[in-house]
Amino acid sequence: MKKLLCSILVGLAALSVTGCDDDEVKTPDFAVSTAQWTFSQQEGMQRMIVSAPGAWTLTGIPDWMTVTPAEAAGPCEITMTYTTNETGAPRKATLTVTCGDETRTIGVEQETVVPESAAGKGRR
């Protein structure tokens, strides 16, 4: 399924490049669909698109997160899966996508649950 999505995205990118102007060869811009994510405390999953004109690699993945794929060539949808945050503090990381000499960063933060004893203080 992931290879199919990547193939479709690459095909669409190729069509958009060839469908515009025959005089100029255009390459896709290097970008990420979202540069900042805030996740809930519970485990979950988010998807985003990396658009790149060539091979790219994603680094800086924390141990509480899995990113698939972490590298590819050209535009591709990636899946970020994260575990429940039971640390008592927000978790933060900065992912870096590198394509050639260029980089893009993705800030990620995962919320934490406020303990019931702290949440109920001040209420009567």
22 occurs within a structural domain: yes
Residue 113 has a pLDDT of 75
Total domains, the chain: 1
pLDDT digits (tens, 9 = 90+) for 91-109: 999 999 999 999 999 999 9
Residues of the chain under the 50 pLDDT cut: 4-5, 18-21, 123-124
Residue range(s) defining the domain that contains residue 74: 2-114
Query: Does the reported pTM lie above 0.85?
Result: no
Residues 6+ apart with CB under 8 A from 117: none
CATH number for position 49: 2.60.40.10
Residues 6+ apart with CB under 8 A from 7: none
